[in-house]
Chains A and B, each alone.
Chain A
Amino acid sequence: MFLKENVLLAVAGLKSNKVRALLTMLGIIIGIGSVIAIVSIGDALTNKVNDTMSSLGANNIVVSVVPRDSQSSWDKVDDSDLLSREQIEKFQQKYANEIENVTLAAGGGSGQVKDGRLYANVSVQGVNEGYQAFKNIKISSGRFLKDRDIDQSRRVAVVSDKLIGKMFKSGVDPLGKEITLYSGDDVSTYMVVGVYKYEQTAMMGMGGTADEDITTAMYVPITVATEHLDNQNYSDFAVKAKSTVDSTAFTKTIQKYFDKLYAGNERYRCDVQNMEDMMTEVNSMMGTISIAVAAIAAIALLVGGIGVMNIMLVSVTERTREIGTRKALGARNSFIRTQFIVESIIICVVGGAIGILFGILLAAIGVHLLGAELTVSIPIIFISVGFSMAIGIFFGYYPANKAAKLDPIEALRYE
């Protein structure tokens, strides 16, 4: 009843005492803000991780060499601790029935492909033939790297259509052409054997890089990429199991195989994980974080609600005479109750709205730092607003009822 008047009155009340209103709202702002921020960041992270992992495929299994003692660092690692190509091939042959392919990859750093005034930023990735299926790379012309390129350390490269667009005139067939890579002090030339279709990934979405300066992957044989490194062997590789294989069971089998292989190594061992398990792990971790945050937020909101109740009680006392006057003018008890509950709701909803904005801002910063993409869930905003209203009603009821029940005479006599 008299909703519009009551809202206007409440807003005028808040405006007339901004500092007090803000302090009152603080608990609500912090509570709602932290929920929005953490839920948004959590969603963004889960999405990013799940995206990455599902793009890799659930039946991918990653084998990596890790120190036995998690405290010890990697600095004493040498080729004898890592996996050699022979070891990997031997493993691959043993499980030829279960394995579709094996992926090797090594980062070769970043650089620029230049030709006169034309240039394109690239990140050089040393890979093997299996990498194409592993990363689901779509070739638009030419071919992907073959095992024989790797075996012979050929200086060939597969580059993005973006790079081609920048480095070659349209109509020119880039296949078989040479490109020059400047990477640090190194200058090397590669022959283009294939072009893949560049797809912007979620992780790069917030980068804010101009299209001009975008960095795309340039794939070269892994043997070429690791030529200048100290270690020629591999610290990890990925196995793509055949679709008929139970990846969880196969993961265990692989773990046993490498445990045996590394039985004699005191410092290192192999860790075998499949994507499905990792995804479950990440998701359950997110779940735990969410519960912890929900608990913190609940406490903040409880404290906030008590703050609102406190200020409403003060407000009722301060306005005792006003309440008496309203009653003398014919306000029923229920009108007074509504007036104060609306005021309490307004405080909470305004606080909630500020909290939502504040939370989104925090989430945007957090997500940016994590390199993920911000998605604001609309339901959580509605839930937050609804929850703020509920707090307003719950904690406003007692003061409002107290106001409603004031005896008009007592209220008018109040000094």
Chain B
Amino acid sequence: MSRVIIEMHDIYKRFYIGTPNELEIIKGINLQVNEGDFVSIVGASGSGKSTLMNMIGVLDRPTEGEYLLDGIPISKMSDNEMSDVRNRKIGFVFQTFNLIPRSSALKNVELPMLYAGVDGRKRVARAKELLEMVGMGDRMYHLPNELSGGQKQRVAIARALANDPAMILADEPTGALDSTTGRMVMDLFHKVHREDGKTIVLITHNNELAAETDRIVTIRDGRIVSDEPGAGKAAQLCS
């Protein structure tokens, strides 16, 4: 039995607390994810997927409930400790890529390592290696606005992997891409999952892509309404 990396107990998230328009977006979620799992989260728009993802990614604290990341309770962490956890343990991939506009692809991939205090030469070597891995070795010195959407997302994936984090959180990473490019990006996630054993949590509206993962969690109105194995798991079980 593999190790539990994400462990959430009775998580609630409310906005505008104490005002007449208080909103409860996450309504008591219990979730466990094992190390090395490839989990997809699906659900209607506005159901609270991103809100949940932000809490998993330690960008935000739950209003109520306990979240243990790798066994460590988030509630006791200071802002700086949360920054460091994001830096070392989590790699984010966004729908809108979010590359730093005036920095080259290489500088973008270096950034998490810069914040981690990795020295310059190691940083550059690792960033180049990662860019080669995602197939962007020939575009390292290009600025984001000189890259296509798919290329940007590949750079973003390389950046997410920079500090060799335990898990990758991707919020609709193919949402802004056409199906072919989306396919390439998805293949890259599979590769990272298969070869590096990374835990991946993927939010998607595309049921076909969700079906390829190990496990599909469906959210409706702030609650988990179904949690079933996907084709990835089935393939694993068959082999």
Q: What residues make up the interface of A, taking CB atoms closer than 8 Å to B? A: 2, 5, 9, 12-13, 16, 321-322, 324-333, 335, 408-409, 412
Contact = CB atoms under 8 A, between A and B. Distances in A.
A409 B15 CA distance: 12
A12 B103 CA distance: 9
Contact of A326 (B84, B100, B116): B100
Given A408-B59, A409-B60, A330 B115 contact: yes
Contacts of B83: 327, 330-333
Contacts of A326: 100, 111, 115
A324 B111 CA distance: 14
A322 B111 contact: no
B100 A325 contact: yes
Interface residues of B, number: 25
Given A2-B114, A5-B114, A335-B115, A330 B100 contact: no
A327 B54 CA distance: 12
Contacts of A330: 83-84, 86-88, 112, 115-116, 163
Interface in B77-124: 79-80, 83-84, 86-88, 92, 94, 98, 100-103, 111-112, 114-116
A13 B159 contact: no
A333 B79 contact: yes
B69 to A, nearest CB: 14
A291 to B, nearest CB: 43
A402 B24 CA distance: 28
Contacts of B54: 409
A329 B92 contact: yes
Contacts of B115: 326, 329-332, 335
Contacts of B59: 327-328, 408-409, 412
B57 interface: yes
23 contacts: A12-B102, A13-B102, A321-B98, A325-B98, A326-B100, A326-B111, A327-B83, A327-B86, A328-B92, A329-B92, A329-B111, A330-B88, A330-B116, A331-B83, A331-B87, A331-B115, A332-B80, A332-B84, A333-B79, A333-B83, A409-B54, A412-B59, A412-B94
Q: Do most interface residues of chain A lie in helix, strand or loop, or is the interface mixed?
A: helix
A5 B57 CA distance: 26
Contacts of B101: 322
A329 B102 contact: no
A346 to B, nearest CB: 14
B159 to A, nearest CB: 7
Most chain B CB within 10 A, of A12, A328, A331, A408, is at: A328
A409 B61 CA distance: 11
Contacts of B94: 325, 412
A328 B98 CA distance: 10
Q: Do most interface residues of chain B lie in helix, strand or loop, or is the interface mixed?
A: helix
Interface of B: 54, 57, 59-60, 79-80, 83-84, 86-88, 92, 94, 98, 100-103, 111-112, 114-116, 159, 163
Nearest to B116: A330
A13 B116 CA distance: 23
B59 to A, nearest CB: 5
Contacts of A335: 115
Nearest to B81: A332
A412 B101 CA distance: 15
A332 B87 CA distance: 9
B130 to A, nearest CB: 14
A13 B54 CA distance: 30
A18 to B, nearest CB: 14
A118 B111 CA distance: 76
Nearest to A334: B80
Given A9-B103, A409-B60, A329 B87 contact: yes
A398 to B, nearest CB: 20
A412 B86 CA distance: 15
Contact of B102 (A9, A325, A331): A9
B44 to A, nearest CB: 19
B167 to A, nearest CB: 14
Contacts of A322: 98, 100-101
Contacts of B79: 332-333
Nearest to B104: A12
Contacts of B163: 330
Nearest to B83: A332
Contacts of B84: 330, 332
Most chain B CB within 10 A, of A5, A9, A324, A329, is at: A329
A296 B159 CA distance: 50
Contacts of A321: 98
B159 A329 contact: yes
A409 B87 CA distance: 16
A208 B102 CA distance: 49
Contacts of B92: 328-329
**8 A-B pairs with the lowest CB-CB distances in the bound complex, closest first:** A330-B87, A325-B98, A332-B83, A330-B115, A330-B86, A329-B112, A328-B92, A408-B59
Contact of A328 (B86, B88, B116): B86
Contacts of A325: 94, 98, 100
Nearest to B84: A330
A305 to B, nearest CB: 25
Nearest to B85: A330
Contacts of B98: 321-322, 324-325, 328, 412
A322 B102 CA distance: 10
A31 B193 CA distance: 59
Nearest to A322: B100
Contacts of A329: 86-87, 92, 111-112, 115, 159
Nearest to B57: A328
A409 B98 CA distance: 13
B15 to A, nearest CB: 10
A335 B84 CA distance: 12
Contacts of B100: 322, 325-326
Nearest to B115: A330
A409 B103 CA distance: 22
Contacts of A412: 59, 94, 98
